[in-house]
């Protein structure tokens, strides 16, 4: 016996904040969406009815809005702004039907993100299960 006290148990490490990762996922999705909208510009110019000031302004303005929203994802109202942007993107069917298709695809992505957000909130309300300590 050396007279040493037994080591004290280490406190549990702090739980990771799920909202930091979630806001990063939303921001990355918005950046990806802006890239897709910008890549649609040549398609509208070549395949569609051609550029008008309205169609080009719509596509560039929408991409700028999506990039701006990507920087605001820590705000509590960000998810609702993101969903509203999807309505604007769905309105792109007036510019070219392919833009409307892009809107449908990303509306599905944002519906999944909104579901996952609700699921995380529900689990937090019940208390997140603790991860077992690494061995």
Phi and psi (nearest 5°) for 129? Answer: -70, 140
Q: What is the pLDDT of residue 3?
A: 64
- C-alpha radius of gyration, the chain, whole number: 22
Mean pLDDT of 9-19: 67
Of the candidates 73, 75, 55, the one whose C-alpha atom is nearest the C-alpha of residue 110 is: 73
CA 75 – CA 44 distance, rounded (Å):
34
CA 68 – CA 64 distance, rounded (Å):
6
Q: What is the pLDDT of residue 13?
A: 67
Tell me the domain boundaries of the chain: 18-123
The pair of structure tokens assigned to 94 is 């007036």
Q: What is the pTM of this model?
A: 0.79
Q: What is the pLDDT of residue 83?
A: 93
């Amino acid at each position: 016996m050396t007279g040493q006290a037994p080591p004290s148990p280490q406190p549990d490490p702090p739980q990771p904040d799920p909202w930091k990762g979630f806001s990063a996922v939303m921001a990355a999705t918005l950046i990806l969406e802006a890239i897709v909208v910008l890549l649609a510009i040549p398609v509208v110019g070549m395949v569609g009815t051609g550029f008008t000031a309205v169609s080009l302004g719509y596509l560039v303005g929408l991409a700028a809005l999506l990039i701006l929203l990507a920087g605001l994802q820590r705000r509590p109202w960000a998810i609702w702004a993101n969903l509203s942007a999807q309505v604007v993107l769905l309105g792109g069917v007036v510019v070219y039907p392919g833009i409307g298709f892009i809107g449908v695809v990303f509306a599905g992505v944002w519906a999944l993100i909104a579901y996952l957000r609700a699921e995380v909130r529900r689990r937090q309300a019940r208390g997140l299960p603790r991860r077992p300590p690494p061995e």
